[in-house]
Amino acid sequence: MTVYVLNGPNLNLLGAREPEIYGRATLEDIKNALEAHAARAGTVIEFRQSNHEGVLVDWVQEAGAKAKGLIINPGAYTHTSIALHDALKAVSTPKIELHLSNVHAREAFRRSSMVSPAVTAVICGLGAAGYLTALDALLRLIDKKPFP
């Protein structure tokens, strides 16, 4: 089973960019931890990052055709991208929106998401551990297992 994990703009700077907000883990650290976690669950991760909105839209569409589920950290496109919203709406598999920080405790403009109405669930504020939590939740959604 393959799960796509897509990361938006500036997430390639994790570990260096505002570590007091986003933590010290790099995107590579997160990828490695998530791949190990996924392997224990018998899942393969397709982990990608782009600073370009259209590339992310293409990958969402690809995930809709090839993956059992999708985790997306859209970064700043969360608040602006109708294109991502529309692409996510077209994907029928379970989808989780993920944010490292608690976007609801930050600037007012970060409290609005164009993506949230198009996904199954949202996880925010858990830092890098949110990726592991998102994968666990997504696998339950894919398998239609109830949450305890």
Residue 132 contacts residue 37 (beta carbons within 8 Å): yes
Q: What is the mean pLDDT of residues 93-101?
A: 95
Rounded to whole angstroms, the Cα distance separating 29 from 26 reads 5
CA–centroid distance for 119 within its chain:
10
| Catalytic-role residue among 4, 77, 85, 99 | 99
Asked if 85 is an active-site residue, the reply is: no
| Catalytic-role residue among 22, 77, 85, 131 | 22
Q: What is the mean pLDDT of residues 116-139?
A: 97
Model confidence pLDDT, tens digit, residues 8-67: 999 999 888 877 777 789 999 999 999 999 999 999 999 999 999 999 999 999 999 999
Q: Which amino acid is at 142?
A: I
Q: How many CB atoms lie within 10 A of CB 40?
A: 7
The average confidence (pLDDT) of the chain is 93
- Virtual torsion, Cα 135, 41, 146, 72, nearest 10 deg: 20
What pLDDT score was predicted for residue 102?
84
Q: Kindly state the percentage of the chain with pLDDT values over 90.
A: 81
What separation in angstroms does the CA of 86 have from each of 35, 89, 145? 28, 5, 27
What band does 105 get if pLDDT is binned at 50, 70 and 90? low
pTM over 0.75: yes
Rounded to whole angstroms, the Cα distance separating 66 from 75 reads 23
Residue 138 contacts residue 6 (beta carbons within 8 Å): no
What pLDDT score was predicted for residue 65?
97
Domains of the chain as residue ranges with CATH: 2-143 (3.40.50.9100)
Residue 94 contacts residue 120 (beta carbons within 8 Å): yes
What tokens does 53 get? 């909105």
Reduced to 3 states (helix: H, G, I; strand: E, B; else coil), residue 99 is strand
Asked if 131 is an active-site residue, the reply is: no
Model confidence pLDDT, tens digit, residues 117-127: 999 999 999 99
What pLDDT score was predicted for residue 16?
83
